[in-house]
Structure formats: C-alpha cells, structure tokens
Amino acid sequence: MSYGKPKKIPRPVSDFTEFNLNNPPKPDDDFTSGAVFLTDKPKGWSSFRVVGLIRKLTGIKRTGHAGTLDPMATGLLIVCTGKATKSISLIQDERKTYIAEIQLGAATESYDAETGFTATSDFSHVSLDNIRSVFEESFQGNIEQFPPMYSALQHKGERLYRLARQGIEVERKAREVCIYDTEILNFDQQAGKISVSITCSKGTYIRTIAHDLGQKIGTHGYLTALRRTASGAYSVERALTAEQLITNFNMHGKIDLS
C-alpha cells in the first residue's frame, strides 16, 4: 500500500540570513538561497506593496510575507525571499504582539477607522476597572471570534471585503484563537481612548476585539490604530523602514522604483 511521499519539514528560519537594522542588506548579497527581511510597514501601505518593493530591490521573484497587516496598520512585517519562503509557515505560527488604539462610543462597518460610523453611544460610564475586568473575563486564553466582513477571507471564491463594499453580508463561522496576554497601557476616560498591548495567536483579528470590547462594556468601540511590535522572537525594534531599504539598495538611484 502506498501512502505517498512524506511531507517535507520546513527548514528552521535561523538557517537563513536575517536582514535588519544591525545587518542591513547590500545589493550584492545572496537573496536566492534564502533571506529574511525584518521590515517596519508604513501606514497606508498594503503588505503586498512591501513585498513588491523587496522583490524589485532584490530582483528575486520568489518573495512573500509571513502574515498580513492591514493598510492602516504599521509595524513588523517579515518578508522572505528565495528558499526561505518555504519556511514562512513557521513564522506565521508564532504568537504576535500588537499595540492597539481603541476608540469607545462609536462603531464602524469595518471595525476600524477605514469606514464610516454605523452607531454611536455614550461611554461616560466606562472606567479603567471595567475595561480590565472585560479583558480578564472575555479576552484571555482560548476564545471564539467571528471574522469581520472586512477581511481577506473568502466566500465562494470572493474576498469578504469585496462583498462588504457591495453591501453584502454573509454568515461567518466562529474561529478559535488564543489571547496569551493583554496589558492596558493607557485609558483617557474623558476621550474614551484605550491603548492596549495584546499578545495573541495567528488568525486573531484585533479589530474584532475592539468591536467586541465595546459591546461587552456597554457601549461601542472601533480600532483607530494598530502596530505589530513582535512576531515570535522577532521585534520591530530591529526592523528596517522602507526608506532604509531603498537607501541600502539604491543609494545611487539606479533602480527604477516607479
């Protein structure tokens, strides 16, 4: 009886050259044999735009990222080239840490600041103790989340966010994710603004946490800013900005980046 070929185990990410602030890339480096770039994604850029930039700078077509960030979000985006792309799943499986800015008193279709308000409500009753209690009771350990309509998940081959933009809503199944740690960094009670650090498993929607938090605390909430600060052992503190990448590769302006 044949059971097919055994599944290949990806090589450890540590096998590949890591490019970061302490080890910036140079045009003559070997990117084909496998490279891992720690980048700090700018606000307004899609994750694929960062991938496209590195693909153009390195000349390596086989390039991909290890975990999407929404255009509104900033922070650590890990991009792999060459043979390192086979190990992307190892990075994706690691826990992630984010700093989220949440505004109470309003809800939006996308659960973030990218779309208009769908509801507003009073938040004057909310206290820091209320927020801490809700995080401890509802956002710790294994929890179930319903993905937002404004997401890249697919329904019958169509991205959910494309359906959402047409005013179409489809049923989504709850998914189990894990919240390892939360820390309230700041709460401006008068303005209804919360800053919180969240360490979670892959597949966690921080926008959904903002939305659900608002409901559980007796008001509304949406995400106004998001920054990924860590992915596994990788930290945004060692990440290269887009400007630094361009400068290292294209210091003489010879690469057409248009």
User: Catalytic site residues?
Assistant: 70
For residue 91, CA distances in Å to 14, 57, 72, 74, 82 come to 11, 23, 22, 18, 15
Q: Are 83 and 213 in contact (CB under 8 A)?
A: no
Retrieve residue 94's tokens: 């690691």
Q: Are 179 and 204 in contact (CB under 8 A)?
A: yes
Bridge partners, residue 112, by sequence: 223
Q: What is the DSSP letter of 15?
A: G
Of 169, 146, 152, give the one whose Cα is nearest residue 215: 146
Q: Following DSSP, what letter does each residue of 132-161 receive, concatenated?
A: HHHHHHHSSEEEEEPPPSSSS-EETTEEHH
Retrieve residue 147's tokens: 């993905």
| Per-residue burial over 95-124, b = 16 or more CB atoms within 10 Å of its CB, e = otherwise | bbbbbbbbbbbbbbbbbbbbeeeeeeeebe
What's the full length of the chain, in residues? Answer: 258
Residue 228, judged by CB atoms within 10 A of its CB (0-12, 13-18, 19+), counts as buried
